[in-house]
Structure 1
């Protein structure tokens, strides 16, 4: 799902505390009704900085969804559009963006931010301002604890690592693990440790890595020298590409689990990542008519195959539109829809779902195992 995760929890909590006051003041001036002929969703996400690639992929998914929604009549006759603020996925920037969105009465829901720390920092503002914060790529289990207005369809880290450790166990009994030095990375590694122990996987070496580093070789040499059956990377596309390339540079030739299903990862990693296994929610090779209709339309618009982060964004717009059609094109209407609609779906989900009202996440959604073959990620079950 990558993100600039190097912010510490202390920074996030400090920002969040200040945000409560800002959100409260903004909420006092805010009307929940969207006036005029256009309904707006606010987007807090990266268009520049180290996570800009994700914003680019989001934009493609957003635009395709909005084109289709508006061609079909919008939300009860109103057109749908976005108001986007570039956050660089930085917690220090998401708080003022949230205050701005809460104070803009034309915005009926917010999409983003990309990283969980960036979203969590802004959650107090959205919750005090009673504006739905739809963190559709926020996999941290802590995100939806922010309040009744924090929602996410993202698969959580614990569910991801339950699946990943199954895939690892099929190839390895002992592993070296590198993970991002961030709150998110530590939480992810904690879940990996938990499930690895349960499944008899021996972690022979582990180390955090700094997201902004360009040279991981000192850590990777130690990971190699621990003689693992596989190396596991818990992080994102840009750092994952460097890790796998540098692993091959220092002579490691075994299985690699890590990186992300993004064009940037595939391009940066090159042949070093061939055979890499990642978790995902989507593959353009899925033969179902629903998936192939989406893939055809995406290719026609962008002349390339869609990937996970295009799908996340496409599905997020459609979910909020469905909620607003049900409950009304207002902030209250979106919340009502998320609470009561029982048949949300999308390209990234095999079945329809309803949100669990306690966790504000869907249940029973699991990642799929993807392997990189000839420069493309395909489901493991169809790659053999």
Structure 2
């Protein structure tokens, strides 16, 4: 008897790509994006991929440098042949990336930029699941308005990036319009080595609350130097302190009472979140799921759903149209885009570190704890 073996040619993979910070100052955050995307890709491929085609994820390290981003996305599209992309981390890197995908008409699902200005540029191929700066304000103001009898004066600093400037400006306007006195609103260096002069100046104004619009690395240094000069306002807020790297570096005792904003919580009771958290912890042997990982995973959920709905016509335009029609549940909640590419349901809860954990204190509809006020002095 003769046995004939028939070789079935495997279908060509569906190529998607991204430039992400795997080295440089944002590498810690960038690694979380990679980890979440790798998990999502392996999960969907184990289920048969997209209409029988496996996903191939192509990543380029942008080294945390916006000057590398445009070239990276050009290479992904023209040389690697990707038909859809994830966005990079930080607004400074996302702006040049969005310009490139718009030029080549290849869709981008962004999970790393919060600037609202990106949705005002008329892009047709850019979509974002990360809450824009507008979403930071209502939860912050809900908490501050509840403390108006105790909190009168506000000091604000912000990093010298598009996102930092935008959030700093929105914070100043929101507090001024609500009747608080903003004693200073000052731009600072992004990635600085010494913020003591700035903090000393702000301390001399004796504000009831201090808010900084900055990324985690800078917030760690600002917290340490606030402790060094004994700057202990009643409220200390750092834009991206809701990152377990902040808590690990500062320590639970010093971090007690610090506030921040968060785009994703591993404790959220959203569809599929428990399964994602368990899978992420098991795969990477970690105790916590950092919020960048959650928002990145949600971007993958949206993109893969759109790829499935695009059917056999996996052209960039068909994928773009499928993304635009998204109306689904994800680990960050419901996602549906308006005609600017912004998620209509995104919001940015205000959290506070209490007893070594991030507790949501606003909005009250999803709060897991009441605000701890005033913030204890550094070190308790």
Distance 2:97 2:19 in 1: 10
| Deviation of 1:40 (Å) | 1.8
1:319 counterpart (302, 326, 333) = 302
Distance 1:311 1:86 in 2: 20
Whose radius of gyration is greater, 1 or 2? 2
1:157 counterpart (133, 147, 152) = 133
Q: Assess, with a 3 A threshold, how the Cα gap between structure 1 residues 286 and 111 changes in structure 2: closer, same or farther.
A: closer
| Deviation of 1:121 (Å) | 1.7
Distance 1:89 1:289 in 2: 32
CA contact 1:323–1:333 (8 Å) conserved in 2: no
The structure that is helix-richer by fraction is: 1
Distance 1:368 1:159 in 2: 8
| Deviation of 1:293 (Å) | 2.4
> Number of matched residues?
346
For each residue in 1:267-309, what CA deviation from the matched residue of structure 2 results, as whole angstroms up to 9, or x when unmatched?
2222322211111133223356733222222222122221210
CA contact 1:285–1:378 (8 Å) conserved in 2: no
Asked if 1:332 corresponds to 2:317, the answer is: yes
Q: How big is the alpha-carbon RMSD for the aligned residues of Structure 1 and Structure 2?
A: 1.9
User: 2:276 maps to what in 1?
Assistant: 294
| Deviation of 1:159 (Å) | 2.2
User: 2:59 maps to what in 1?
Assistant: 84
CA contact 2:265–2:294 (8 Å) conserved in 1: no
CA contact 1:114–1:138 (8 Å) conserved in 2: yes
Asked if 1:354 corresponds to 2:336, the answer is: yes
Matches for 1:217-236 after TM superposition, within 5 Å: 217-236=196-215
For each residue in 1:68-114, what CA deviation from the matched residue of structure 2 results, as whole angstroms up to 9, or x when unmatched?
21122211111112110111232210111121122146411111111
For each residue in 1:2-37, what CA deviation from the matched residue of structure 2 results, as whole angstroms up to 9, or x when unmatched?
xxxxxxxxxxxxxxxxxxxxxxxxxxxxxxxxx943
Q: Assess, with a 3 A threshold, how the Cα gap between structure 1 residues 201 and 311 changes in structure 2: closer, same or farther.
A: same
Distance 1:272 1:200 in 2: 31
Name structure 2 gaps, 5 residues minimum: 1-9, 362-366, 371-380
What TM-score do the two structures reach when normalised by structure 1? 0.85
Asked if 1:96 corresponds to 2:80, the answer is: no
User: 1:148 maps to what in 2?
Assistant: 124
- Which secondary structure does the structure 1 equivalent of 2:116 belong to? coil
Distance 1:247 1:86 in 2: 33
Q: Assess, with a 3 A threshold, how the Cα gap between structure 1 residues 285 and 159 changes in structure 2: closer, same or farther.
A: closer
Asked if 1:306 corresponds to 2:289, the answer is: yes
Distance 1:166 1:222 in 2: 28
Distance 1:61 1:296 in 2: 12
Q: Assess, with a 3 A threshold, how the Cα gap between structure 1 residues 291 and 99 changes in structure 2: closer, same or farther.
A: closer
Distance 2:99 2:35 in 1: 29
Distance 1:183 1:298 in 2: 32
User: 2:242 maps to what in 1?
Assistant: 261
What TM-score do the two structures reach when normalised by structure 2? 0.86
CA contact 1:283–1:378 (8 Å) conserved in 2: no
Name structure 1 gaps, 5 residues minimum: 1-34
CA contact 1:370–1:379 (8 Å) conserved in 2: yes
Distance 1:120 1:286 in 2: 30
Distance 1:289 1:184 in 2: 30
